[in-house]
Amino acid sequence: MPIKISAKKRVRVYARRKLENIACTRAYKEALKNFEKAIATNDKKTGEKLSRAIALIDKAKKVNIIHKNKAGRLKSRIMKLAATKKIQPVTSKVKQESAKPKKTTKKTNVEKPKTEKKVEKKPKTEKPKKTTKK
C-alpha cells in the first residue's frame, strides 16, 4: 500500500484510467462484432454500424489504446468486407451540416471620422556632457 498522499492519488488515477481504457477497448470490439453480424444477416443499418466501428477504432487509436497500424489494419479489413457487399459508410446529419460554410454575422466596417491630433515637436536641446574626473 502506498504511504504518501501523491502515491495514493496515482493509484486512484491509474484505476480510473484502466476502467476508461477497458471501456474503449470493449466498445470498438463490440462495434466490430455488430458490423460483422449485420453483414451476415443483411441488416439494413449496416452502413451505420460500419461508420460506428470506424469511429470507435479511430477513437481507440487517438487515445493510444491500439497502435495506429492495428487501427489501419482493422479499418482496411472491415472496408474490404463492406466493399464485397457494396456498403457505404453513413455520415451523420451533424457532420454534413458542419461541412457547410458558416454564415458570418459581422457588421460591415463603418469608417469612423478620424480626428487628427497635432503633436508639436519640441526642439531638441543639447544636454551638457558629463565629464568624469580621473
pLDDT at 22 over 90: yes
How much is the average pLDDT of 19-40?
Answer: 94
Residue 24: CB atoms within 10 Å = 17
Q: What is the pTM of this model?
A: 0.63
Would the pLDDT of 104 be above 70? no
CATH code given to domain 5-94: 1.20.58.110
Q: Where are the alpha helices (DSSP H) in the chain?
A: 5-41, 46-62, 68-84, 93-99
Please answer whether residues 85 and 35 qualify as being in contact, where contact means their C-beta atoms are separated by less than 8 angstroms.
no
- Is 6 a residue whose pLDDT tops 80? yes
Which pLDDT value is given to residue 94? Answer: 47
Please say if the pLDDT value at position 95 is more than 60: no
Sign of CA dihedral 47, 48, 51, 56: negative
**HSE-CB of 10 using CA atoms within 13 angstroms:** 7
Structure confidence at residue 112 as a pLDDT band (50, 70, 90):
low
pLDDT attached to residue 127: 72
Average pLDDT over residues 78-101: 73
pLDDT band at 103 (very low <50, low <70, confident <90, very high): low
- Return d(Cα 18, Cα 96) in angstroms, integer: 34
pLDDT tens across 34-87, in order? 999 999 998 888 889 999 999 999 999 999 999 999 999 999 999 999 988 888
The rounded distance, in Å, linking the Cα atoms of 134 and 125 is 28
Q: How far apart are CA 63 and CA 47, in angstroms?
A: 25
Between CA 59 and CA 11 the distance in angstroms is: 25
